[in-house]
Structure 1
Amino acid sequence: MSRWLALILACGLTGQALAQAAPPAAARSTIADTTAALPLQETPYWRHEVESLRLPPVAERLPQAPLVIDLEAKGRSFGTPGGTMHMLISRSKDVRQMVVYGYARLVGYAPDYSLYPDILHGVEIFEGRRFTLRLRRGHKWSDGAPFTSADFAYWWQHVINNAEITPNGPPDFMYVDGVLGNVRFPDPETVVFEWPTPNPNFLPLLAQASPPFIYRPGHYLRQFHADFADPAELERAVAEARVNSWAALHNKRDDMYKFDNPDLPTLQPWMNTSDNDSSRQIFLRNPFYHRVDARGVQLPYVDVVEMTVVGGGLIAAKANAGEVDLQARGLDFSDVSILKKGELEGGNYRTLLWANGAASQIAIYPNLNFTDPVWRGVMRDARFRRALSLGIDRRMINRALYFGMATEGGMTALSTSPLHDPAFLHAWAEFDLEKANALLNEMGLTERTPSGLRKLPDGRPMEFVIETAGERQEVENALTIITDTWRELGIRLILRPLDRDILRNRVYAGVSMAAVWFGWDNGLPTADTSPMYLAPTNQEFFSWPKWGQYYQTSGEAGEPPDMTAAKRLMALSRAWNSARNTAERTLIWREMLAIHADQQFAIGILSEAPQPVVAASGLYNVPEQAIWAFDPGAHFGIHRIDEFHYGPPATGSVPVPAAPDAPAAPPVPPAPGAPAQPTAPGGSP
């Protein structure tokens, strides 16, 4: 691993401790990139445009101090730029995965979960409350426009603090103990975020798979902003976009995470060049990307990424047929047999099994904010949630779905986390119908229908509706088994598959009784990991969407937590922010995990089931063993997909192609006021 990846100065913290620590012992600390100047080599894909003077040479496209990757120190091979990487997605909206996989962040996680400066040249930390962000001089957006502190100022002054674009005001992460942070822009390469008290969540937030993009390409977005645009032209643009206001138009053009606007400049390794309605999404290498290898070769190695939209049920079959170069999303453990069969029969790929970093492979979330008052009262009784958990035959599900290779138990820290406790894993997780029935009887739910279903307090039969995203066969298989065992409790399980976005919106609105999703994204926490996600601070936790909304909007929407255990989780989360040492943070974490184990807010079923990953035989630098996790991890992102390359491994200079091929896709048009974009990119294999 190169020095820039691990350099931590003056604070005495390493790895995860720096990444997610409470206030450092020393007043000042720094994470910095120590890149040095090196000769740069022109990318073959862009050489024709450079020679035709339609694109600046690589030395003018890169920052003065690009991020230099020492691949040999990481045990990886150098690659020759070129090639098209094929992937599959189940819907066009999943183009956002390119932002996840590309994982260009202000600061990012390394595979050991330490933080390093990525887009940033460095970060200086004072008392854990003031963060001075140093940008790379000469860094540019994908359209060639400068990336400076002005882009942070545009976000702060004209997006977040504009009442029409952001009616609820600054987001929750800008507040610490109810106090709004201050943002300053001393010079083009410096941005300062400051709070009166420590904010240990700030840097980890910037490294998330779905981060808050605290900068925007103002040079492009001004044409959609009432403070800058010509009123007549803006009115015409609003009408053409069929939206209700200029603010709605700005928000539509401004989504850095959805990645569905090909005109929106990016800092990611690849640029979107496709209409979002197309079944074939093309992403071209960003000519201004800020990372290079130790030979001076600009990353990414792969020229083009092609995502094809197919039905979710076809992904394994198409992977088996050799139609992908890299794929994990849409593959379940049940697909391993067909993938291995295809591999043995001459398929030009290999099937890898990565560890799964989610706290639970499958988890049931009773909605404690459900709009039905009778059902809400039943679900808020911990005895009901415990009975549901006791009524699940996890061993049968494990054998049927994972050949016994998963870990049976509730949702908690995984076995490789230092916070793992077997008692939390097994709490209310044994299969015990007698105990489950006793708990339901104790609640007074003793009356039954002629068919044997228990009755709710208002006399309705107990029909428990669980909604799913309808994308994972293993979920439906597990719920089929649970249907039979819950019937012995006098509960009828009704499965309702929905579109993913519809499911989320129903949960957020409180009209979904219960939902199935993965467990916590981070099943591998340490004491220095923020435990915010264990408290009702986010509507994404499907058991308390209204409480999460209340926190995220500073009380403007949602409902305040009104259950004792939930309030305690909030208090513990706040206490962690001011804890003085790892021992105190460990105690806080253990109490929060104990509350979840006892209360069964979410009912975990199984965890640590291997995640199949298909990689083309000629694709190099793909880890044989790794962790598949959304956050932290960004799935492929933490493993640096921009370093993956087609073989064979290379040394020395990049070869010059004999002649450019046909363009792989139409180029991205330049944004207003930006340098001209190449019009006929040289092709790649």
Structure 2
Amino acid sequence: MIRFVVALGLVVLAALPVSAQTVQLVETETLSRTHTGLPPVTERVPEEPYIVDLAAKGRKVGKHGGDLKTMIGRSKDVRLINVWGYARLVGYDEQYQLKPDILKAVDEEEGRVFTLHLRKGHKWSNGEPFTSEDFRYWFEDILTNTELTPTPSPFMLVDGKLPTFEVVDETTVRFAWDKPNPNFLPSLAQARPPFIYRPAHYLKQFNPKYGDPEKIEQMVREAKVRSWAPLHNLKDEMYDASNPDLPSLQPWVLSADTNDRRAVMVRNPYFHRVTTEGQQLPYIDRVIMNVVDGGLIATKVQAGDADLQARGLVFADLPVLKRGEKSRGYTAGLWPQANASAIAIYPNLTVNDPELRTLFRDRRFREALSLGIDRELLNRVLYFGLGQPSANIVLPESPLYSEAVAAPPPYDTDKGNKLLDEIGLTKRNAEGIRLLPDGRPLELIIETAGEDAIQIDALELIKDGWRELGVALFPRPSQRDVMRSRAFSGDLAMSVWLGYDNGIPSETMPPVERVPTSEQFLTGPAWGAWVTSGGQSGEKPDYEPVVKLLEANNTWMTSENAAEREAAWMEILRIHGEEVLTLGTVQGVVQPVVISNSLKNVPMKATYGWDPGAQFGIYRPDEFFFADSE
């Protein structure tokens, strides 16, 4: 339970006082499967652990044990264990409210001073103390060391300045900016968090400021890197889960039994959450991720090779998945996606091609393409009519939703053709394709990451509507890294990807996904690079709607109250709606989630999203457990 106290400009985000003495701690029956020689549970959990009341959440008291099997399409996706584990300094609950988790409490003053209170006695997964020194090491030896961090993350900057940092005592640290930083706490709750702490006791051995220079030099040679800094970065992989020696605070940690085809995660015996019954979480002993070709995941799920699976499954797999339910003892649940649109097309307004750049920056052209998308057809053919036609703006479930802004235009190729004629694209070739001013046919290549066949199917359906506009569409399957690299270089003209991850934002959530604050902004990666690099690379935003997006984002970043933040959000959504910066398709589409009948405490009705939500994360997989099928 959380309380908020407001007095003299101070906001306290804190758990009600609890301690290990308020519950009778019990040992984990199956701990010996993964660990030996550990101290008793009373010495492993913090003095004031995070107490989970399962009954209050409508969940069952579980039992320890078992291996949870799931599949990933590439070995690097092992990092999802740190997404699904979702142990965060502060994190979202199932109602998308921020609450302390790893932290015991946060004091917020005037939106600019944040005092973080740790849990006394909290330990890393190797049993070493987790203290304020781990925050100090990150701030003073990583964040502000240009060899390790050339450019600080934007969430740590206000007016281009870092905060002052103070160690108050062993369990208390303070970050203070001159002006409000509403981005700070929500950033800590992301699916991929910034990790503003590090296991200092482990990483110091790779830092010449603390470690033995000769040993460091030897490790540099063995790692085949140029200096201590890349060695340190290689070992410091809090998110990627690539170093089994790196201590963690997550419920499961990478084990040395991992290889390129099979990743094995074992329970963290020092995890900070316990139930009111005194059981230390997580319940499940091991999480095993098998690397499988993406095209085979649905078939292998049907064969019973997964206990919990959403990754690699798409709506089109549902008939296959349903056929295996009875024989393989699982249920194919349907979780509505949190994306603002299931599929969206992103014109690159910073594309290198000068003719296309000029055309893409004409709102009338983007509006014409949107009018040429038959969203009702897409919904009917691809999603069996279960979704709703959608722009890529925001879902109706969001408190920021406005039908006037977020409603997509009806399919109207007559109106679309008039807009293209108005632009001056009146000449056509013998096939009826409009000609660009330089005489080239208006042929648009839309690149995909090659991870979801339904995106190609959608483009094939959209192709017919655009053909009526005199625009030729050619899908080009690629790979995610290649597609993004081409986007950053300006060679990619258009891409198809998921709609914005956070389709259900509130005014407290950062709007950065819809603003060019990183190279991931596919509507203008070069603008994002310019913002991220402080003007050292990329292109300075010179397109008025995008300049206004950045101004509204700056207003949100410097806001002092909820009304200002809401107004900034509404301006950003208005610009996206009026300017048609992306082309949405269908929203409300469901994500198949296969759940073994023996796996308990997994909700059958839930929302599947990345930020906020961390896919399974906000539903606390550490509380899932295996029991006999019912």
- Smaller-chain TM-score range? over 0.9
- How do residues 25-424 of structure 1 correspond to structure 2 at under 5 angstroms? 26-36=9-19, 37=21, 38-47=23-32, 54-168=37-151, 170-274=152-256, 277-343=259-325, 345-424=326-405
Asked which structure has the greater RCO (Cα within 8 Å, sep 6+), the reply is 1
Equivalent of residue 471 in structure 1, options 445, 448, 451: 451
2-structure distance, mates of 1:647, 1:34 = 32
1:40 is matched by which residue type in structure 2? L
Per the normalisation by structure 2, the TM-score is 0.96
Deviation at 1:648, TM superposition (A): 5.3
- For the residues of structure 1 that align with 2:33 and 2:148, how far apart are their CA atoms? 42
Kept in 2, the 8 Å contact 1:172–1:554? The answer is no
**Alpha-carbon displacement from aligned partner over 1:262-283 (angstroms, at most 9, x marks no partner):** 1111111001115765211100
Which residue in the other structure is 1:524 paired with? 504
Report whether the alignment pairs 1:487 with 2:483. Answer: no
- Give the C-alpha shift of residue 433 in structure 1: 1.2
Residue 9 (1) aligns with residue 4 (2): yes
Residue 25 to residue 595, structure 1, CA distance change in 2 (3 Å): farther
3-state SS of 1:495 partner:
strand
The equivalent residue for 1:612 is: 592
Shift of 1:49: 8.6
- The alpha carbon displacement at 1:418 in A equals 2.2
Counterpart code for 2:386: M
- How far off its partner does 1:355 sit? 1.5
Q: Equivalents in 1 of 2:478, 2:468: separation in Å?
A: 27
Q: Secondary structure at the match of 1:133?
A: strand
Q: Deviations over 1:207-229 (max 9, x none)?
A: 01011111111222222223233
CA change 1:301–1:608 in 2 (3 A) is: same
Matched length = 628
Contact 1:33 1:117 in 2 (8 A): no
Distance in 2 of aligned mates of 1:151 and 1:619: 36
Structure 1 residues 584, 234: closer, same or farther in 2, change over 3 A?
closer
**1:237 aligns to what SS in structure 2?**
helix
CA distance in 2, matches of 1:358, 1:114: 19
Rounded to whole Å, the distance in 2 between the matches of 1:448 and 1:412 is 33
Cα distance 1:35–1:551, how it changes in 2: closer, same or farther (>3 A)? farther
Structure 1: distance between partners of 2:257 and 2:496 = 32
Deviation at 1:532, TM superposition (A): 3.1
- Indicate the residue corresponding to 1:595 in structure 2: 575
Change (3 A) 1:544 1:251: same
* 100-109 vs 210-219, greater mean Cα deviation: 210-219
Deviations 1:96-120 (A, max 9, x none): 1111100010011100111111111
Say what the alpha-carbon RMSD is for the aligned residues: 2.0
State the distance in 1 between where 2:538 and 2:258 align.
32
| Partner in structure 1 of residue 556 of structure 2 | 576
Tell me, yes or no, if the aligned pair for 1:391 and 1:433 is still in contact at 8 Å.
Answer: yes
Provide the C-alpha distance between the structure 1 equivalents of 2:182 and 2:623, rounded to a whole number of angstroms: 30
Question: Could you tell me which amino acid in structure 2 is paired with residue 90 of structure 1?
Answer: G
**Superposed displacement of residue 471, structure 1:** 0.7
Aligned counterparts of 1:616 and 1:25: Cα–Cα separation in 2:
51
1:552 and 2:532 aligned: yes
Query: Structure 2 CA distance, aligned partners of 1:538 and 1:601?
Result: 16
Deviation at 1:232, TM superposition (A): 3.0
Q: Percent identity?
A: 48
8 Å CA contact retained: 1:69, 1:292: yes
SS of alignment partner, residue 10 of structure 1:
strand
Question: Is there any run of 5+ residues in structure 1 with no aligned partner, and where?
Answer: 12-23, 650-685
**2:455 partner SS:** helix
Instruction: Tell me: CA distance 1:134–1:418, structure 2 relative to 1, closer, same or farther (3 Å).
Output: same
Residue 469 of structure 2: SS of its match in structure 1?
A: coil
- Aligned CA distance change for structure 1 residues 74 and 151 (closer, same or farther; 3 Å): same
Q: Is the 8 A contact 2:515 2:521 kept in 1?
A: no
Partner Cα separation in structure 1 for residue 438 and residue 237 of structure 2: 46
- 1:661 alignment counterpart: none
> What code does the residue aligned with 2:79 have?
R
Aligned-pair CA distance for 1:425: 3.0
| Greater Cα shift, 462-471 or 537-546 | 537-546
1:425-463 per-position Cα deviation (integer Å, ceiling 9, x unaligned): 334x32111111221222222222333322222222222
Secondary structure of 2:530's aligned partner: helix
Shift >6 Å, 4+ stretches: none
Partner of 1:662: none
Shift of residue 582, structure 1, vs aligned partner? 4.2
- Aligned CA distance change for structure 1 residues 220 and 387 (closer, same or farther; 3 Å): same
CA distance in 2, matches of 1:184, 1:286: 29
Letter in 2 for 1:73: A
Contact in 2 for aligned 1:302/1:644 (Cα 8 Å) = yes
Q: C-alpha separation between the residues in 2 aligned to 1:167 and 1:590?
A: 34
Q: Structure 2 CA distance, aligned partners of 1:265 and 1:565?
A: 45
CA contact (8 A) 1:383 1:443 kept: yes
Would the aligned equivalents of 2:182 and 2:559 in 1 still touch at CA under 8 Å?
no
| Cα pair 2:274 2:281 within 8 Å, conserved | yes
Question: 3-state SS of the aligned residue for 1:191?
Answer: strand
Distance 1:414 1:194 in 2: 35
Secondary structure of the corresponding residue to residue 585 of structure 2: strand
Instruction: Supply the distance in 2 between the matched residues of 1:227 and 1:506 (Cα, whole angstroms).
Output: 39
After alignment, is 120-129 or 500-509 more displaced? 500-509
Q: Name which of 594, 597, 604 aligns with 1:624.
A: 604
Q: Which residue does the alignment assign to 1:533?
A: 513
Partner of 1:627, secondary structure, is coil
User: Structure 2, unaligned stretches of length 5 or more?
Assistant: none
Aligned-partner Cα distance in 2 for 1:536–1:25: 36
**1:171·1:553 contact (CA, 8 Å) conserved in 2?**
no
Partner-residue secondary structure (3-state), 1:488: helix
Task: Give 1:186 shift.
Answer: 1.9
Aligned amino acid, residue 217 of structure 2: E
Change (3 A) 1:49 1:374: closer
Tell me how far apart the structure 1 counterparts of residues 591 and 86 of structure 2 sit (CA, whole Å).
20
Contact kept in structure 2, 1:537 and 1:551, CA below 8 Å: yes
CA contact (8 A) 2:34 2:285 kept: no
1:161 aligned partner, one-letter code? T
State the Cα distance separating 1:202 from its structure 2 match.
0.9
Deviation of the 1:35 alpha carbon: 2.1
For 1:158 and 1:385, the matched residues in 2 are separated by 47
Q: Which runs of structure 2 are paired with 1:436-447 in the superposition (5 Å)?
A: 436-447=416-427
Q: C-alpha displacement at 1:253, in angstroms?
A: 1.6
- For 2:468 and 2:258, locate their aligned partners in 1 and report how far apart those are by CA, in whole Å: 48
TM-score with structure 1 setting the length: 0.88
Question: Could you tell me which amino acid in structure 1 is paired with residue 4 of structure 2?
Answer: L
Return the alpha-carbon distance in structure 2 between the equivalents of residues 209 and 26 of structure 1.
30
